[in-house]
Structures are given as C-alpha cells and as structure tokens.
Amino acid sequence: MSELPIGKGDDVSLKSSFFEQLVEHTFVSELLQEAYYGSGELIEVLRSEIDASGYDVVLECRGIMRHVQLKTSRPGARAASQKVHRKLAEKPGGCVVWVLRHEDRETRRMRLSYRFFGDEPGKPLPSLSEFKVAKHNKGDATGKKKERPAIRVIPKGHFRVIETTEELVRVLFGLSSAGPT
C-alpha cells in the first residue's frame, strides 16, 4: 500500500473545504456500514450547519445520542493536540473523533483509523477544566496572541487509539458485531 497524498503538493490545503467534506462523508459511510452490516442497527445522522457549539455531526443509535466534533490528520502528522469547544461538554454524549486518514494511491481510497476523546455511551464529555485555554493562531497589532476562553487544548495522549470502525461503533454506541437481523 502506497500511503502518499493523492493530490499534487498543496492540493489538499488548496481544496480544504472539499477535502473536509470527503473525509466526513467517508467517516459517516464507514459508520453506517459497520453498524448495519455488523450489528443490524441504523444510525441517524444530523449535520451541523453552524459550528458554534463544538460539534460537526449528531449521531443517534438505539436511543444513544452523540454530538461529535470531527478532527482529521494523516497518521504521523505533527499535530500534538486538538482544540475543543467547551460547549461540547454541554451536549448529550459529546465526544471528539480524530479521524486518521490512510490515503492509498493504488486503490484511490482512504482507510480510516481513529483517536477518541469522550466517555461511555450515554455519558457526557469528561471535564475540560484541566486543559489549558487555547490562544488565537495570529497575534493582534502588537503581536500578542489572545486567549480563546471557550476553547481548550486536548493533548494527543488523552485520546484513546481506535484502529477500526468496528471498535469505534462499540465505543460510540456499545454495539457488538452480531450481523444484521
């Protein structure tokens, strides 16, 4: 398997909106297939139009609701943390799914693995109070980077490594692979 960027050079950054949607659609497709073919369950998917409360999608399965903030990177990327909005902790089943996209030039497909920050199905996001407050990427006129009081920085080490979509579905909804009924 050749894990190389499929586009040319900065192609991904130049088409970031497209690429963000591609990863999100691939993620949702993988979840839906795993839940149905693995457990005979359906997942309802609601998409956020405005990212003001810290989540991108809402997933519901068997009465368990998950407000999910999606992050993405390639395996081995330098990202040492992710920024998470405090409001996500107020949402039912709030969690962060960091999607690691393994791009394969030969198959022209992405294989996904994950990192997860959250709690058991039906429980809220763990407290964010222990994490440092994020700062703006760019400084003001004096060069000072102001704090973003609603955003916390979660180090990579606080994310649980999840290798397969089957395992992620178990973590999100407590589903086990029994096949469709």
Write the pLDDT tens digit of every residue in 154-163: 999 999 999 9
Has residue 18 been placed in a domain? yes
Phi, psi at residue 171, to the nearest 5°?
-65, -40
Buried b (16+ CB within 10 A) or exposed e, 94-103: bbbbbbbbeb
Query: pTM for this one?
Result: 0.87
Q: Give the whole-angstrom CA distance, residue 138 versus residue 144.
A: 8
Q: Of 17, 49, 175, 120, whose CA–CA distance to 57 is shortest?
A: 49
Has residue 178 been placed in a domain? no
Percent of the chain with pLDDT over 70: 89
pLDDT tens digits, one per residue of 5-58: 555 545 666 667 887 888 999 999 999 999 999 999 999 999 988 877 889 999
Has residue 152 been placed in a domain? no
**Total domains in the fold of the chain:** 1
User: Would you give the DSSP letter of residue 107?
Assistant: T
Asked if residue 67 lies in contact with residue 95, where contact means CB atoms within 8 angstroms, the answer is yes
CATH label of the domain that carries residue 103: 3.40.1350
Has residue 111 been placed in a domain? yes
Has residue 2 been placed in a domain? no
Which range marks the domain in which residue 47 is found? 11-79+91-121+157-173
